[in-house]
Amino acid sequence: MQPIDWNDLRDFVAVARAGQIARAAKALQVNATTVGRRIRRLERRMGQMLFEQTRQGQMLTEAGEQLLARIEPMALAVHGLEPHDPHSGVSGLVRVSVSEGFGTWFVAHHLHHFLARHPQVGVDLVATSGFLSPSKRETDIAVLLARPRSGPVVSRKLTDYALRLYASDRYARRDDLPTDSRALAGHRLIGYIPEFIYANELNYLAEIDASLETSVRSTSINAQYRLVASGAGIGLLPSFIGNADPHLVPVLPDIVICRSFWIVTHRDTRKLARVRAFHDWLVETVQAHRATLTGPADPTR
């Protein structure tokens, strides 16, 4: 086997970081055709496909991720390869899978700080009901509702968070709010559609009272929030959503449901610069704003 040309490895790292051959070529100040030819030559010599072609550009295969993890540390010091990000040496695209509520109300709210710190890093924020899998390499980072029990992943608890009952101030003026959990049965309750609950951790109404049933339901926590805010009924919302709206009032504030978020990465890619940068930033941000996630609802608002 012929020795691998360092230029091929250098271009491979650049494409992995940029996510597109054209963008990498521009950063390297070489022709995109040349970069593409070097990538194909490297793949032939490795005997493996290193990238998958997508509509967005080039996505690393499993073999590509493994190669990048091995050579990225030396890439900054060999043959004059300079960091693309003058502030941190981090660039490329990181994909993050989070729950709809946490992604919309917390991560998206603070994400501009990460982008300012790492201006050459792009972020795919996949904030939906259900999660992409780090073990299947569908995402670089996932924030899950439970710790994975198996798979080639590394996980740690990111934070606990609280859920509480809320109603709109309009609803509170129109109807007397319940004074105990038994009185909740006399109110319209908002929550998830039972057969479409995608994680057992979201089945929390029974923890208040097993006899309670929701009558206005949605698969979307954002839709549930909108229903509560419109005065349609009383709903259980994460405190980082309920407390963010000054027109929502806590209902039975002594009732608190506790859940946890777990941050998960693939063990082979967790040390990639862009993955590590986002992981560390999110942990840091959560620690700085933990009261937003766990703090009590204020009945005097």
pLDDT 10s digits, 89-119: 687 889 999 999 999 999 999 999 999 999 9
Written as six digits, the tokens of 266 are 């693939």
pLDDT at 149: 86
Contact 266, 144 (CB under 8 A): no
**Minimal CA–CA distance to 46: which of 68, 31, 30?**
68
pLDDT at 84: 45
CA distances for 287 relative to 8, 162, 202, 245, angstroms: 41, 15, 23, 22
Question: Which residues face 159 on adjacent strands?
Answer: 261
Structure-model confidence comparison of residues 35 and 56, the more confident one: 35
Element (H, E) at 96: strand 92-99
- pLDDT, tens digit, for every residue of 215-250? 999 999 999 999 999 999 999 999 999 999 999 999
Hey, where are the domains in the chain? 6-75, 87-301
pLDDT at 262: 96
- pLDDT, tens digit, for every residue of 262-288? 999 988 788 888 899 999 999 999 999
Nearest 5°: the CA angle 60, 66, 67 is: 85
Task: Tell me the CATH number for domain 6-75.
Answer: 1.10.10.10
CA distances for 250 relative to 168, 179, 196, 211, 239, angstroms: 9, 12, 26, 21, 10
| pLDDT, the chain, mean | 87
Written as six digits, the tokens of 75 are 């890439």
pLDDT at 257: 95
pLDDT at 103: 97
Is the pLDDT confidence value at 69 over 90? no
Residue reference for tokens 């082979």: 268
3-state secondary structure 12-74: HHHHHHHCCHHHHHHHHCCCHHHHHHHHHHHHHHHCCCCEEECCCCEEECHHHHHHHHHHHHH
pLDDT at 299: 47
pTM, two decimal places = 0.73
pLDDT-derived band at 75 (thresholds 50, 70, 90) equals low
Residue type, 220: S
CATH topology of domain 87-301: D-Maltodextrin-Binding Protein; domain 2 (3.40.190)
Q: What is the mean pLDDT of residues 246-264?
A: 95
pLDDT at 81: 43
